Amino acid sequence: MKLRRFGSYSLIRKGKGKPNGKKPPTEEKKHYLDAEYTKVRVVDFELKELVVLPREIDLNEWLASNTTTFFNLINLQYSTISEFCTGDTCPAMSAYSTTYFWYDEKGKKTKCTAPQYVDFVMSSVQKLVTDEDIFPTKYGKEFPNTFDSLVKKICRYLFHVLAHIYWSHYKETVAMDLHGHLNTLYTHFIVFIREFNLMDPKETSIMDDLTEALCTPLPPQNHVTER
């Protein structure tokens, strides 16, 4: 059974006052962990329900559908702060104390600015998810033997983008009133990669505090849904 691949929830950029575009000095305090922010979501149901493999769906098809959806949603989320993510504000692709380097197809390691890194990520992932030989959409077309490893590679790249948004552009996200969307997207993504063991826990450990805060179910009356 083939699935249509699309976003599971929409992101609407609100008309609240825009930040000034200047990246503040790096602070040790992780504002994204403040309770007033972590409680804000755009859905009020258990996201694990969205990632469990349906009985009638092929595993690879389910992974393909969800991976494509996350690529589109994370690309969209990044686009809301892309004007503030420049070579001057973000000279390295970093999150907390971690700097990510890009490796080209020949394995050459390159240190680049955050916007360059994200562009590499989105371009390479776009190429993969639109390749009919890797992400087949036609009935009867088989997935390649390397599909599982490619999905894991994509998820690793997408996690880097999410981590950078939280670490370097959370204030801009809050200023645009989009932190509820970001929290929901991050939680959904983490629940997905955990369900199918798509990333080594060591690779996501820099965001463990946020993961714990967001993935711990809130009492129903405390869920805050953005309007």
Q: Give phi and psi for 64, each to the nearest 5.
A: -65, -45
What is the DSSP code (8-state) at residue 31? Answer: G
Residue 169, annotated ligand binder?
yes
Residue 223 annotated in ligand binding: no
Q: Is 85 annotated as a binding residue?
A: yes
Residues 6+ apart with CB under 8 A from 202: none
Cα–Cα distance for residue pair 95/167, rounded to 1 Å: 5
Helix ranges (H only) for 22-58 are 35-38, 48-51
DSSP 104: -
**105 touches 192 (CB < 8 A):** no
- 3-state SS class at 45: coil
User: Using H for helix, E for strand and C for coil, what is the string for 165-213?
Assistant: HHHHHHHHHHHCCCHHHHHHHHHHHHHHHHHCCCCCHHHHHHHHHHHHH
Angle between helices 179-195 and 208-215 (to 10 degrees): 100
90 among annotated binding-site residues:
yes
Q: Binding-site residues, please?
A: 85, 90, 164, 169
Q: Binding-site residues for Zn(2+), please?
A: 85, 90, 164, 169
